[in-house]
């Protein structure tokens, strides 16, 4: 195929037709043609030559040029595409390194193989441009609902047509229950993510995502769309039951009532789309215990105990409400846990009473054994709120004097016995730690008791360097999510009620002592976190 005047205009017509069909810029198609023609010319003139082709966007005329670049004599490698300053003087006036010399060369005739190669280059470029267009079209639509046309179902996965893109797939795991579709059915899906991949943009659809329900409510409830009502949290057991927490920023609008609608019309529209999924609409509350009581509806709650550090919450319910609070197969409490982001322990009033009694007896026995007290006196201490020896040993004397039958002499004797026992425990723990090979640098570290040092030693932490390499959660414990389930990580110092913040402070102090961290950097980071600019030194 020769580039002649007969087919020059045809190039542009072809580019326009392809661009119109694929909905891409005609200029991209012309650039692909230029690249394919340049490749064909290189096979004719030599692969080492820098041959470029320019197609006039109006006439379709293709101009072939050879480009040579002026380089330093020591860097000259490709004699076909580069030349030195001295060699360039016969073609250019005052050549300098980096200048280029462009000369036109005769057009080439493309043989069958070259024409086939050019076709492949153009098709590849067009495909890339089409994929880029599709990605650009959908990348900002992640987090929205689309209407899709079902084309077919393969092994439980539904292949859908979104109109201007290649087929998208609604995977079996993203379908609600056992729902099935026939070709040409119209379904609504939530776009979870759009990724650019080699085979084109991949659009991940879902009907089970909590965000899908939130978007459906936004479409049905104008107050949510307008921002008067906000959806704070959603938890779903797709196809079965869901809980959604809402809050109103207008005191005159009831958020639950607005989402339910007149005679339940709004919530029913969402339920119908979600294959009959039952939805509990719950008022959001910043007070977590109050919010949890709402989240556990329809069960009634007697008492809530929140442990913010452990992100756990204990809920006490009447015996007859236990099965309702837990729900079928634990569904109600599981959804409430997802909604609040807390681990929930549910117990009956009788179970809580038994636990409290067990704790009372355990603390009573502790005081009887360590302070050599009779049962009645030990029970008095526990009743006044004392839970351990440290509280007895180091509390203000006045707090002991409020106990019936305790005078100053008795209070002093109690504290002396408690301190003696604590010192004996510390001595034994220190001896055990030294037997395990603990160094003085760790023993003398401020903030660590002998019992803590012993626990660290038993865990293999025997030097200040070992301690400085620990993560805060390794010391204080924490929670991680594994396959959607929250898993407890036990900390070495967790039995001593060391918080994450305290563990972090101790580890950073150890790193500063060892010279691993500059204390000035530490102060700067802390000031930045608090939003306070560091004061300049005078």
Per-residue pLDDT at 160 exceeds 70: yes
Question: Rg for the chain (alpha carbons), in Å?
Answer: 38
Determine the Cα–Cα distance for residues 472 and 324; give it in Å rounded to an integer: 39
DSSP track, 360-376: HHHHHHHHHHHHT--HH
Average pLDDT over residues 321-339: 85
pLDDT in the model for residue 245: 92
Does residue 24 or residue 154 have the better pLDDT?
154
User: What percentage of the chain has pLDDT greater than the value 90?
Assistant: 11
Average pLDDT over residues 238-258: 90
Tokens of 6: 């007969």
Q: Which residues of 418-441 are buried (b: 16+ CB within 10 A; e: fewer)?
A: beebbeebeeebbebbbeeebeeb
d(CA 172, CA 158) in angstroms, rounded, equals 7
pLDDT tens column, 423-457: 988 899 899 999 999 998 998 898 899 999 999 99
d(CA 157, CA 160): 10
More confident residue, 113 or 277: 277
Q: Do 422 and 391 contact (CB within 8 A), yes or no?
A: no
**Alpha carbons 100 and 67: distance in angstroms, whole number:** 7
Query: For 198-207, 265-274, 404-413, which range has the lowest pLDDT when averaged over its residues?
Result: 198-207
Which residues neighbour 32 within 8 Å (Cβ) at sequence distance 6 or greater?
121, 122, 124, 125, 126, 129
Torsion of CA 409, 410, 415, 421, to 10 degrees: 120
Query: What percent of the chain stands above pLDDT 70?
Result: 82
- Give residue 8's pLDDT: 56
Ramachandran bin of 460, using left for φ above 0, alpha for ψ from -120 to 50, beta for the remaining angles:
left
Q: 191-227, pLDDT tens digit by residue?
A: 887 877 766 677 888 888 889 899 999 999 999 988 8
DSSP string, 287-308: SHHHHHHHHTTTS--SEEEEET
Of 84-98, 274-288, 379-393, minimum mean pLDDT range: 84-98
- β-partners of residue 258 are none
Q: What is the pLDDT of residues 237-246, one digit of tens each?
A: 888 888 999 9
Residue 536: which pLDDT band, with cuts at 50, 70 and 90? very low
| pTM of the full structure | 0.57
DSSP 8-state class, residue 385:
T
Q: Is residue 470 within 8 Å of 507, Cβ to Cβ? A: yes
């Amino acid at each position: 195929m020769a580039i002649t005047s007969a087919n020059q205009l045809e190039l542009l017509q072809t580019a326009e037709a392809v661009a119109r069909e694929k909905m891409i810029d005609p200029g991209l198609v012309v650039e692909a043609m230029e690249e394919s023609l340049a490749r064909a010319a290189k096979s004719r003139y030599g692969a080492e030559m820098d041959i470029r082709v320019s197609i006039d966007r109006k006439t379709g005329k293709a101009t072939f040029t050879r480009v040579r670049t002026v380089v330093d004599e020591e860097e000259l490698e490709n004699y076909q595409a580069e030349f030195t300053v001295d060699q360039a003087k016969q073609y250019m006036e005052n050549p300098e390194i980096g200048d280029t010399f462009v000369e036109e060369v005769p057009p080439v005739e493309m043989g069958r193989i070259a024409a086939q190669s050019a076709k492949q280059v153009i098709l590849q470029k067009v495909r890339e441009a089409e994929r880029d267009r599709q990605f650009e079209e959908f990348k900002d639509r992640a987090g929205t609902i689309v209407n899709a046309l079902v084309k077919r179902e393969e092994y439980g996965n539904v292949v859908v047509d979104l109109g201007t893109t290649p087929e998208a797939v609604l995977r079996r795991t993203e379908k609600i229950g056992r729902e099935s579709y026939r070709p040409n059915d119209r379904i609504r899906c939530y776009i979870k993510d759009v990724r650019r991949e080699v085979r084109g943009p991949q659009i991940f659809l879902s009907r089970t995502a909590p965000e899908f329900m939130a978007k459906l409510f936004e479409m049905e409830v104008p107050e949510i769309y307008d921002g008067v009502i906000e959806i704070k949290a959603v938890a779903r057991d797709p196809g079965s039951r869901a809980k959604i927490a809402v809050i109103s920023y207008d005191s005159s609008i009831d958020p639950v009532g607005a989402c339910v609608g007149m005679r339940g019309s709004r919530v029913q529209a969402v339920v119908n789309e979600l294959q009959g999924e039952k939805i509990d609409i719950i008022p959001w509350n910043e007070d977590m215990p109050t919010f949890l009581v709402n989240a556990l509806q329809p069960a009634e709650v007697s008492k809530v105990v929140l442990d913010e550090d452990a992100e756990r919450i204990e809920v006490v319910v009447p015996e007859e409400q236990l099965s309702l609070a837990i729900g079928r197969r634990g569904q109600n409490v599981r959804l409430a846990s997802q909604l609040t982001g807390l681990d929930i322990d549910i117990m009956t009033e009788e179970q809580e009473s038994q636990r409290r009694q067990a704790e009372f007896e355990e603390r009573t026995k502790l005081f009887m054994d360590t302070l050599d007290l009779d049962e009645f006196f030990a029970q008095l201490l526990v009743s006044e709120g004392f839970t351990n020896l440290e509280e007895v040993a180091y509390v203000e004397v006045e707090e002991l004097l409020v106990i019936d039958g305790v005078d100053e002499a008795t209070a002093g004797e109690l504290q002396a016995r408690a301190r003696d026992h604590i010192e004996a425990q510390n001595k034994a723990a220190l001896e055990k730690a030294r037997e395990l090979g603990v160094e003085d640098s760790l023993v003398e570290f401020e903030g660590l008791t002998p019992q803590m040092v012993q626990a660290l030693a038993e865990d293999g932490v025997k030097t200040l360097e070992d301690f400085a390499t620990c993560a805060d959660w390794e010391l204080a414990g924490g929670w991680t999510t594994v396959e959607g389930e929250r898993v407890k990580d036990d900390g070495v110092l967790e039995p001593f009620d060391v918080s994450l913040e305290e563990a972090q402070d101790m580890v950073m102090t150890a790193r500063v002592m060892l010279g691993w961290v500059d204390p000035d950097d530490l102060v700067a980071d802390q000031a930045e976190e608090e939003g306070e600019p560091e004061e300049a030194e005078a």
